[in-house]
Amino acid sequence: MIAFIGTGLLGSNFTKALIKKGETVHVWNRTAAKAKALEADGAKAFDNVADAVRGAKRIHLTLKDDAAVNEVLEKAHLGFEPDAIIIDHSTTSAGGAAERTEIWKKRGYTYLHAPVFMGPGNALESTGTMMVSGDQEVISKIEPELAKMTGKVLNFGITTNKAAGIKLIGNLFLIAMTAGLADTLSLAKTLGISIDEVSQLFGTWNPGAMLPMRLKKMTSNTFDQPTWELNMARKDAGLMIQEALRGGAPLAVIPAIASEMDKWIAKGFGDNDWTVIAKDAV
């Protein structure tokens, strides 16, 4: 039997997928109605989290943050089986993941942080990417079962909180990309360029394909071999800001980047590749 704790959009679809695979699943959620609704799919809902995990060999978590995970695990542990494995898919701090691994090990239980890059649809279809790190003996035993949930499991080695850090890095990039797209749409609106035309551009010109080479450029310390000079990139950023302001739709992200560009130009790096703004990061 498997217990799933936290049945929001991700947890509920994980649960449905596990049931379709023939698993018996007990569920619990702070908002009891969300767990109760899964009984229509074959899950068994509990009002008490300790009752939900009692008898479970695997206890999966999809909760909000470190505080929620710590609080719920403390309440749930009264029902833990001696050999139960706690598998936490929540996005948490790296420090919290490491701390929980040690705390629960000292209390006689196995805690594995296994965050994911997947939406509710992926959870239902068992597609996406799950990340793990830590005790390799534990991971080797549980990885086949985790792979059934996501299709792909990336093992980042023995450091217990490495997967947590990778998850935060990935989410940072998604947030930055989305914010950049928001600025893109704002500028397009002020210039009278339609969403269809923006889609046409990115449908043909895929800047995402540049990511591996851009990362290589930024980490190779070859800023003195520019493909786009910082001075020129800053000029273009200024044009973007001016056009957006003229149209009454100030940008949110580009002004901050322009300010960072100004710092590096003031340091004398204006003729370098514009990626020099990442020099201190690497």
Do 121 and 13 contact (CB within 8 A), yes or no? Answer: yes
Q: Strand 116-117 vs strand 110-113: parallel, antiparallel, or unpaired? A: unpaired
Strand partners, 110: 85
- Give percent of the chain with pLDDT exceeding 70: 100
DSSP 273: B
Are 2-160 and 194-281 equal in CATH topology? Answer: no
**Residues in Cβ contact with 88 at an 8 Å cutoff, skipping those fewer than 6 apart:** 60, 61, 63, 69, 97, 100, 111, 112, 113, 114, 115
* Distance between CA atoms of residues 261 and 254, nearest Å: 10
Tell me the average pLDDT across 239-266: 96
Nearest to 84 by CA among 107, 51, 111, 50: 111
Q: Which fold has domain 194-281?
A: N-(1-d-carboxylethyl)-l-norvaline Dehydrogenase; domain 2 (1.10.1040)
- Look at residue 112 and tell me whether its pLDDT is greater than 90: yes
CB-based burial, 187-215: b 16+ in 10 Å, e otherwise: bbbbeeeeeeebeeeeeeeeeeeeeeeee
Do 118 and 127 contact (CB within 8 A), yes or no? Answer: yes
* Distance between CA atoms of residues 48 and 218, nearest Å: 51
Tell me the average pLDDT across 238-266: 96
* Distance between CA atoms of residues 109 and 92, nearest Å: 19
Give domain limits for the chain.
Answer: 2-160, 194-281
The CATH number assigned to the domain with range 2-160 reads 3.40.50.720
Do 270 and 231 contact (CB within 8 A), yes or no? Answer: yes
Give me the pLDDT at residue 282, please. 81
- How confident is the model over 189-237, as pLDDT tens digits? 999 999 999 999 999 999 989 999 999 999 998 999 999 999 999 999 9
> Global pTM?
0.92
Q: Strand 85-88 vs strand 58-61: parallel, antiparallel, or unpaired? A: parallel
Confidence band, pLDDT 50/70/90 cuts, at residue 14? very high
Token pair belonging to 4: 């799933």
Instruction: Give the helix ranges, DSSP H, for the chain.
Output: 9-20, 32-36, 49-53, 66-76, 94-106, 120-125, 136-150, 162-190, 195-204, 211-219, 230-246, 254-266
Do 151 and 126 contact (CB within 8 A), yes or no? Answer: yes
* Distance between CA atoms of residues 167 and 66, nearest Å: 14
Token pair belonging to 119: 């939406």
